[in-house]
């Protein structure tokens, strides 16, 4: 009986210990979101007339544990690079929401994607729908 009690106490003590190097939830969110997202005409039908080498892409860079910078690059018809800074990430049930100035501008979630060759697979999908004025907007759907 004492051996069982000691074994149980040992299990409780070990499960109560925490490693100081555990990843905090916000760090996991920004690390998972960071990276290069590319698109194709399967994901975004508005890109069907754009040549293969001139497809837009977005790059997410970590700023802090809960904020990122989105660098959106478009090549067609003219090259343009737009940056959205201090975008706040918040985890939802099945996605990560992107907020800029308290307004939702998009999301990142695991979904079905189609690669450039038309193959279907599961991957991380970034959707951005941001509009400052009717002429100043970013609409992007891409995969990591």
Residue 127 lies in a domain: yes
Average pLDDT, the chain: 84
Residue 7 lies in a domain: no
Residue 88 lies in a domain: yes
Residue 31 lies in a domain: yes
Rounded CA-CA distance 88/97 in Å is 8
Residue 6 lies in a domain: no
Residue 77 lies in a domain: yes
Residue 104 lies in a domain: yes
Tell me the per-residue pLDDT of 26-78, one tens digit each, with 9 for 90 and over: 557 888 899 999 998 888 888 888 888 899 999 999 999 899 999 999 998 88
Question: What is the count of structural domains for the chain?
Answer: 1
- Residue 39: the pLDDT is 92
Q: Which domain holds residue 66?
A: 24-143
Closest by CA to 100, choosing from 113, 124, 83, is 83
The burial of 144, by beta-carbon neighbours within 10 Å (0-12 exposed, 13-18 middle, 19 or more buried), is given as middle
Binning pLDDT at 50, 70 and 90, where does residue 18 land? low
Residue 11 lies in a domain: no
Q: Evaluate the omega torsion of the peptide bond into residue 77 and state whether it is cis, within 30 degrees of 0.
A: yes
Residue 20, pLDDT above cutoff 60: no
Residue 8, pLDDT above cutoff 70: no
- Residue 139: the pLDDT is 93
Rounded CA-CA distance 129/140 in Å is 7
Q: The whole model's pTM is what?
A: 0.77
- Calculate mean pLDDT across residues 9-25: 53
**Paired tokens of 96:** 């990560």
């Amino acid at each position: 009986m004492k051996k069982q009690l000691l074994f149980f106490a040992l299990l409780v003590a070990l499960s109560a210990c925490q490693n100081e190097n555990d990843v905090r939830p916000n760090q996991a969110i920004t690390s998972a979101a960071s990276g290069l997202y590319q698109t194709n005409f399967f994901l975004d039908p508005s890109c069907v007339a754009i040549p293969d080498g001139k497809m837009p892409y977005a790059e997410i860079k970590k700023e802090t544990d809960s904020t990122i910078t989105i660098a959106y690059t478009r090549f067609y018809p003219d090259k343009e690079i737009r940056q959205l800074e201090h975008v706040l990430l918040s985890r939802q049930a099945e996605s990560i929401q992107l907020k800029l100035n308290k307004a939702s501008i998009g999301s990142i979630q695991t979904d079905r994607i189609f690669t450039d060759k038309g193959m279907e697979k599961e991957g991380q999908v970034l959707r951005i729908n941001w509009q400052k004025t009717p002429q100043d907007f970013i609409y992007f759907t891409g995969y990591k």
